[in-house]
Amino acid sequence: MSLSATTRLLTQLQKTALDAIFPPGCVSCAEPIDTPGNLCGRCWPEMTYISAPYCDICGFPFEYDAGDGFVCATCLRQPPVFARARAVLKYDDASRDMILGYKHSDQTNRAPTFANWMSRAGAELINDCDVICPVPLHHKRLIKRRFNQSALLAGEIGKLNDKPVIHDLLTRKRPTKSQGGLSAKARLRNVRGVFEITPARKNSLDGTVVLLIDDVLTTGATVNACSRSLIEGGAAKVDVLTFSRVVRASNTAI
Ligand SMILES: [Zn+2]
Ligand SMILES: [Zn+2]
């Protein structure tokens, strides 16, 4: 085989390998693109990426840099149970379909791409954690959906960063209504006392720093409830990394 044919074959094999990991088209609109695991030139500028300056605790983005360690009014008024939350991008009209497609339409091949971006946005949190765990689904919903979108992300982030992932660290004691469409207060009520450390994992948390993974942070009620169980179960600290987060004009989250 000539050198150029070998190179062509290698390039093709490399491409096949990448296609197996990443969806071949744009991860949002599926338009063909040259590099798998990316957004196309039309979708990329539409997204709002979350970067500093933001609230040191919940990651709510600020328009102006108020200095290191600055905290938003919501976190000042009522600090969340988790220590820090970070996200890749804003949940808005541009990102909604991409995220819902991943969550509800079996487009699970987006998980490696999302996890790759989350690894960058949450590099500090990943570096600081001892163990990664996902927000669990109730087993009835898991059967219906066939996969836990947060667990897929947690698994990929663990692999990419060589960190241990405990998928069954938390369980949902009872099924809950979907948080979608509920008010902030109703969301709090809906998840209160719902999560617990899986009995077999009860002794594995002593003094550990846990990184909790979810797909979207909305009011923070779910990750806060999970964090409470983890802290009560012995975790020293819980950080939260989500792919996306809702950003309201006034941060009434958490
Ligand atoms: Zn696109
Ligand atoms: Zn905050």
CA of 16 from ligand 2 middle (Å) equals 43
The token pair that represents 19 in the structure block: 């296609």
CA of 75 from ligand 2 middle (Å) equals 4
Instruction: Please tell me what DSSP assigns to residue 148.
Output: -
Q: State the average pLDDT over residues 134-160.
A: 88
Say if residue 227's pLDDT is above 90: yes
Instruction: Give the Cα-Cα-Cα angle 60, 212, 157 (nearest 5 degrees).
Output: 100
CA distances from 178 to 12, 90, 165, 192 (A): 43, 20, 25, 14
User: Closest by alpha carbon to 148, among 215, 201, 194, 88?
Assistant: 215
CATH of 50-245 among 3.40.1190.20, 3.30.420.40, 3.40.50.2020, 3.40.50.1970: 3.40.50.2020
Per the model's pLDDT, the better-predicted residue between 106 and 99 turns out to be 99
- Structure confidence at residue 219 (pLDDT): 86
Interatomic CA distance for residues 88 and 41, integer angstroms = 18
- Structure confidence at residue 11 (pLDDT): 58
Q: How confident is the model at residue 63 (pLDDT cuts 50, 70, 90)?
A: confident
Report every protein residue that has its C-beta within 5 angstroms of ion ligand 1.
26, 28-29, 31, 40, 43
Closest ligand to 97 CA? 1
CA of 183 from ligand 2 middle (Å) equals 19
CA of 28 from ligand 1 middle (Å) equals 5
40-58 per-position pLDDT tens digit: 999 999 999 999 999 999 9
Q: In this predicted structure, which of 1-10, 81-90, 93-102, 156-165 has the lowest mean pLDDT?
A: 1-10
103-124 per-position pLDDT tens digit: 877 788 889 999 999 999 999 9
Domain spans of the chain, in order of start: 1-46, 50-245
- Structure confidence at residue 16 (pLDDT): 54
Q: State the average pLDDT over residues 59-86.
A: 91
Mean pLDDT of the chain: 86
Interatomic CA distance for residues 247 and 244, integer angstroms = 9
Residue 253: exposure state from Cβ atoms within 10 A (0-12, 13-18, ≥19): buried
- Structure confidence at residue 152 (pLDDT): 94
Per the model's pLDDT, the better-predicted residue between 79 and 192 turns out to be 79
Instruction: Please tell me what DSSP assigns to residue 83.
Output: S
CA of 217 from ligand 2 middle (Å) equals 12
pTM flag (> 0.85): yes
CA of 31 from ligand 1 middle (Å) equals 6
Yes or no: say if 198 and 163 are a contact pair by the CB < 8 Å rule.
no
